[in-house]
Amino acid sequence: MGLASSMQNLREGEIKSLACSSGLSLEATRWAIRSTFADMTAQHLISWLNEAELPGHRARPIGLLGVVLSGNVLTSPARTLLLPLLMGVPVLARVSSREQLFASLLERTLLDGCPAMRSLARGIGLVSFDYDGPAGAETLRAFLGAVDTVSVYGGDETCGAVARLAPLGVPVLQHGHGLGVGVLPSSANAGREAVAEAAAAYALDVAAYDQRGCLSPQAIYVEDNGWVSPEGFAEELLEALDVLERTLPRGPLPTSIAAEQAQFRGVASVVGRALEGNASCVTYEADRPPRSSPGYRNIAVHRYADEPALLRNLGVLGPRLKVIGLAGTASTRSRLMGVLPAGLTPRVCAPGEMQTPPFTCVWDGLPAWHGLVRYVAS
């Protein structure tokens, strides 16, 4: 059995433990694992490795990669750990104090697999430590001094701390705070069936990982003059989220998030509308500037008049914009990529795919092997 099959067939007790450690529901945990490994085939990975070749050059692995993992998205260690290993780069990873089990299960699955999988497992080292306070900073400094390159995932504060403590000459690949947005142009808002399909797809994007990752949509922009008004689409989206709650329920709401959620919804009630469902809330905030969402299935819907207005709204988000879920045709998405403001390099995909990027996709405008190899003339 290959790695993807093994991870998709974890024992029920392991799934329950992952749900407990991540804060996701059992159903959402199963969905996360299934979708993460859906396209991880040998053919796909071999094709990706071939793409990394540069004519007349040889790819030389960088040495030991240090990885500082985030705990927001349960399955994020899969891509973060496996892609360097496939490039021949050994990994020393500091697992998050919030969620450590997934990386450990991934390592164990490799160790229990075929010879090729066991070979990859020999390149993984997992460590756990707290880097708060003076003692923690010294531990982090020692960790950073033991590696050749560092890849850090987390908030901007975490990325900044790692960059400050990294030894001179050790490259730091920062993957800080990010977000996604949905866009429903009037051309894709052309009737009841199209609207229902878009609402269901965006509901999945919002519900995935309980809206806690850097690909999670924080707002959905709906163009004027479609079949349903922007405010009407907010109502459609809430209905779709309530339907999805039956099969993909939200995990427990942390006390700290409950306070942020109450504030988010309270402000929306003043400046627009707050439509509350069984475990989610869709706010309608017209053309007000976007606000930060607390996640956990709280999403804002905004209106926009035309493409120039949309591009202004997207430009404000800057490089933190990681993904756009654009309803419509593939040609519509291709066209948007060609007119995005300078400096924006989000992945543009269909609704329903925002949280399920291809395993080896381009990230922040850079190939998945960026920083993992150096090219020397052959």
Regarding whether 78 and 195 lie in a shared domain, the answer is: no
* Mean predicted lDDT score pLDDT of the chain: 95
Residue at 358 is within a domain: no
Residue at 378 is within a domain: no
Regarding whether 69 and 23 lie in a shared domain, the answer is: yes
How many percent of the chain have pLDDT more than 70? 100
Please compute the mean of the pLDDT values over residues 354-359 and round it to a whole number. 94
Regarding whether 112 and 7 lie in a shared domain, the answer is: yes
Residue 378, pLDDT score = 81
Regarding whether 214 and 158 lie in a shared domain, the answer is: no
Distance between CA atoms of residues 195 and 185, nearest Å = 11
pLDDT at 27 over 90: yes
pLDDT at 1 over 60: no
Q: Binning pLDDT at 50, 70 and 90, where does residue 99 land?
A: confident
In terms of residue numbers, what domain contains 269? 179-349
Regarding whether 92 and 221 lie in a shared domain, the answer is: no
Q: CATH number of the domain that 255 lies in?
A: 3.40.309.10
The residues, any chain, with a CB within 8 Å of residue 64's CB and separated by 6 or more, are 89, 90, 91, 92, 146, 147, 148, 149
SS3 category, 62: coil
Residue at 245 is within a domain: yes
Regarding whether 184 and 173 lie in a shared domain, the answer is: no
Regarding whether 338 and 202 lie in a shared domain, the answer is: yes
Q: CATH number of the domain that 77 lies in?
A: 3.40.605.10
Residue 39, pLDDT score = 84
Report CA-CA distances (Å) from 336 to 26, 257, 322, 329, 341.
Answer: 37, 34, 14, 11, 10
Choosing from 120, 151, 177, the residue where a domain stops is 177
Q: In this structure, which amino acid lies at residue 254?
A: P
Please compute the mean of the pLDDT values over residues 52-70 and round it to a whole number. 93
Residue labelled with tokens 């099959």:
5
Residue at 362 is within a domain: no
In tens, the pLDDT along 236-285 reads: 999 999 999 999 999 999 999 999 999 999 999 999 999 999 999 999 99
Q: Tell me 190's DSSP state.
A: -
In tens, the pLDDT along 72-81 reads: 999 999 999 9
Q: Tell me 247's DSSP state.
A: T
pLDDT at 43 over 90: no
Regarding whether 221 and 118 lie in a shared domain, the answer is: no
Residue 44, pLDDT score = 86
